[in-house]
Amino acid sequence: MMEPNRPESRRQAGFAATLFALSTVSAIPAAATGAEAGASAASLEEIIVTARRREESLQDTPIAISAFSAAALERQQIVSTEDLDQIAPNLQFASYGPLTGNNSAAQIYIRGIGQSDGSSGVDPGVGLYIDEVYMGRSVGGVMDFRDIANVQILRGPQGTLFGRNTIGGAVLLTTTLPGNEFGGTARVGIGDDNLREGFLAVDVPMGDTLAARISAGARQRDGYVTRVFDGMDLGDEDSYTLQSSLRWLPTDTVTLTLRGDYTKEDENGSPFVFETINGRQAFPAAISRGSGCPGATFPPPFVPPNVVDTRCANDATWRLGEYTNGGSAPAESQLENWGLSAVLNWQISDALTLKSISAYRELSWSGSRDADNTGLLVLHTDYASDGDQWSQELQALVDAGPVKGVVGLFYFEESIDDFLQVPFAAPPPLVASGAIPGSRDYQRAFINNDNWALFTQWSYDITDALSLTAGVRYTEETKGIEIISFTTTPLTAPTVIPTTLNTPGVAGPGLNIIPEPFENKYESTTGSASIEYRWNDAVMTYFSWSQGFKSGGFNQRYNLAPPGNLPVAFDEETAETFELGFKSEFGGSVRLNAAIFSTDYDDMQLTYRLGIVPLLFNAGKSSIEGGEIELTYAPGRLIIEGSVGYLDNKFDEIAVVPGTSQTVGPNNRLPFTPEWQGSLGIGYDFEIGNATLTPRVNVSYTDSQYFDAANSVEVAQLEDVTLLNAMLTLELNAWKIRGGVNNVTDETYRVAGNSSYSTSAGYAEVIYSRPRNWFLSASFDF
C-alpha cells in the first residue's frame, strides 16, 4: 500500500537505484555485440520519428521518445489511446474524465505533468496531435486505433517546436496514407460483453500522381457495471468512425495531402460506482433528513444510522460492490467529432522545403452523471459542449549538409459554447419543513481562445560525431470568457432565465456572476538546446534542456458568487527539464534506449474544491525526477520488448488557496504519478508450413498512485497492479486470425476516481478495471 508520507531517504534511494540501473544496462549491448555477430538475420523494424518536425531515425533524435508502428501496437494488444500506458514508461493515459461525465475525456500525464479537468475552460497539459494537427480539448482524446500508421510519445516539455499545451510532452498519432496499388484490409471481431467490431479500408490509386484511401469502422460492446435502478449497463462502447485521405503529387517537388475524419459515439454513462459518503456533511445530512431516514437529524453534525434504508445516505445502503451502481439520475455519454486538414509540401530546392498545415475541426459532446451514485439526490451533473477550432502552421525546413533547421509560424483559434446544470441537495430552509430539498445551478460559458507563435530551431553537425541543437519559441495567447450562472430553488421550479442576462455588466436577481466578457493575455518565450555525441554507429548519447509553458485562464464552474461577481482566474504554469539520454542499436537485433531527467515545475495548475466546486488554482512549485529504459531484442523469430519508468516528486513550495476544502501536503504526490512502472512482452514465431503461429504474452506493472492533488485515499489506487494479457496469432497468406485474453488473472483495481468527501457534498466515486475478457478477430488483406 502506498505510504502517504514517503521519507526523503527513500526518495533519494529510489532515484539512486534508477541511476544505477540505467548505468548498468547501458553496458549490456556492448557486451552483446560479439554474440550477435553470428546470430540469425535481424528482425528489428526501423523507426522513423518527426519529433523535430522532420523525418529522422529514432536513434538519431536527442529526445526521449517511445514510438510504435501499427504492427507493434497490434502485437502488444494496444487497441486504443488509453492502452498506451501499458507499454510506454512514465505515461498515464486514463479515460472517463471524472468532471465531464463523458467516456472519451482523456486524462494524459507524462512524467507527472498533465491535467485531469476536461472542462472547456481548462487546457490539457500534454498535447495530442493527429496527422500534425493539434487537438484543443481533452474530450475526444480517448479513441480506438482503427487506421493508425504509428504513434510517437514525446516525453518532457516540447515548448519550442510544438508549443501550445505540451508542457508535459506530446502524443503524435499518424494515420495510414493512401497506397499506390488498389487493395485494402477487412477485419471483423467478437468477444466478451457482446463485443462486435468491424473495419474496412480501401486504397484507390487514380493514375500515377493521385491516390485515395477510405476507411470505416464500428465497435459495440456492453458495459461492465450494472445500475440496479433500471438495469442500464455503464461503461459500454458504441462508436463509429469514417476516415478519408487524398494524396496528390502534381509535380516531382509538390505534395498535397487532404484528410477528413468523423467519429460518433452514443453510449451510456461512465462506469462510476459508489465508494463512500460522508454523512456528517451538509448535503447527505439534508437529503437523509428530507427523505425520512430513520433517526436522521439536521443540522450537522449528523451521524447517519448504520441501517439499510434507501432513504439514508450511508455506506450500509449504497455500497453495492465494484461493478454495481446504485444511482438513478440520467447517465449518458455522447460525442460527435469531425475535422478536415490539408498538408502542402513544396520542395524549393535540395536544401529548402516549404510546408503548410491547415485544419478545421468541430467537437460536440455531452455527459450526464449521478455523482453520488445513490438513489438519492445528493449531486448530479449534466454537461454539454459545442466548439470549433481552426489552425494554420507554416514551416520553412532547411537541410544544408551539416546545417538543418526549421522556422515556423503557428496560429490557433477556438470558440466553445458550454452548458452545465447541477441538481443538488440544498440545505435548509426546505429541510426544516421536512420537504425533500433541492436546488439547480445553471451555468453557461462562452469561451474564445486565440494563440499565435513564432518558432525556430537549428542543428549543426560540428563533426561527424558531435552535433549541437538550439531553438526558441515566442507565444502570445488571449483567453476570453463570458459566464452566465444562476440558481433555481426548489429543484422542481421551472427554469426561468432572468431578463438581466441580456444586460451586460449587471448581475441582477438570481444571477451569480456578471454576464460580461472577461479576457486575459499571456505571453512566453521558451527555449531548448541539446548536445549529442555519436560514439560509433551503434551508440549515441545526448544532454538536453527544454522549457514548457501553459497559459492561465478562467474557471467556468460556480455554485456561489465569487468575490466581486468575477470569474476565478488562474495564472500560467511553466516547466524546465534537464535530461541525459543514451540510445543504442546493435547487430540489427538489440535496441536499448534510456534517459534520466530532472524537472522544475512552477505554478502548478492543480484542482481543488472551493466549497463543493472543483476549480483550478496555482498550487506552488514541485521538483520531479526520474528515468526510463526501453529495450527491444529481436533475434530472428523471437521478440522481447520491455520498459521501466521511475518517477519521484517533491513539493518545494505550496501556495495557500483560501477557502478550499482540500490542500496539498509537503509529502503529497502529484496526480497520476506512480513511482514505478514497467512492461514486458515476449513473442515467438513458429513456422507451420505456409503459416506462422505466434503466441505472445504482455505484462504491465503500475505502482500505487493518486488521482487528485489532495491525495484522497478513498479514491486512490493504493496497491500496485500487475496486468497480464495473452494472445495467439495465426497468419496464412493474406489472412490473420487473432485470439486472446485481456486481464488474464482477473485483477480488480481502480482506474479513476473523484472525491468530494471533505466538502459539504460528501461523496466519493471510483471506476474499477474491466474484468477478464476474451476476443477473437479475423482480417484479410486484398
The CB-side HSE value for 527 (13 A sphere, CA atoms) comes to 6
- How much is the pLDDT for 65? 98
Distance CA 381, CA 367 (A): 8
pLDDT at 166 over 60: yes
pLDDT at 296 over 50: yes
* 635-667 per-position pLDDT tens digit: 999 999 999 999 999 999 998 877 676 677 888
pLDDT at 213 over 50: yes
Instruction: Tell whether 1 is covered by a domain.
Output: no
More confident residue, 695 or 36: 695
Q: Are 161 and 356 a contacting pair, CB within 8 Å?
A: no
pLDDT interval class at 634 (50, 70, 90)? very high
The predicted model gives 403-420 an average pLDDT of: 96
Q: In what order do the strands lie in the sheet with 126-130?
A: 65-69, 148-155, 169-175, 126-130, 133-135
Instruction: Tell whether 134 is covered by a domain.
Output: yes
Residue type (1 letter), 455: F
Instruction: Tell whether 303 is covered by a domain.
Output: yes
- The CATH code of the domain that includes 337 is 2.40.170.20
Instruction: Tell whether 3 is covered by a domain.
Output: no
- How much is the pLDDT for 493? 58
Q: Are 725 and 744 a contacting pair, CB within 8 Å?
A: yes
Share of the chain above pLDDT 90, in %: 71
* Cβ atoms < 10 Å from Cβ of 250: 10
* Cβ atoms < 10 Å from Cβ of 354: 14
Q: Domain count for the chain, please give it.
A: 1
Query: DSSP class of residue 129?
Result: E
Model-wide pTM > 0.85: yes
Instruction: Tell whether 722 is covered by a domain.
Output: yes
- Reduced to 3 states, what is the DSSP secondary structure of residue 165? coil
pLDDT at 354 over 70: yes
* 487-511 per-position pLDDT tens digit: 666 656 555 555 444 455 555 555 5
Give the range of the structural domain holding residue 698, as residue numbers without chain letter: 8-781
More confident residue, 168 or 498: 168
* 698-728 per-position pLDDT tens digit: 999 999 999 999 999 999 999 999 999 999 9
Distance of CA 512 to the CA centre of its chain: 32
Instruction: Tell whether 599 is covered by a domain.
Output: yes
Instruction: Tell whether 304 is covered by a domain.
Output: yes
The predicted model gives 730-753 an average pLDDT of: 97
* Strand ranges inside 535-589, DSSP E: 539-550, 553-554, 569-570, 573-586
* 106-132 per-position pLDDT tens digit: 999 999 999 998 889 899 999 999 999
More confident residue, 285 or 195: 195
* 525-562 per-position pLDDT tens digit: 999 999 999 999 999 999 999 999 999 999 888 655 55
> Mean of the per-residue pLDDT values for the chain?
88
- In which residue are the cell numbers 548536445 written? 531
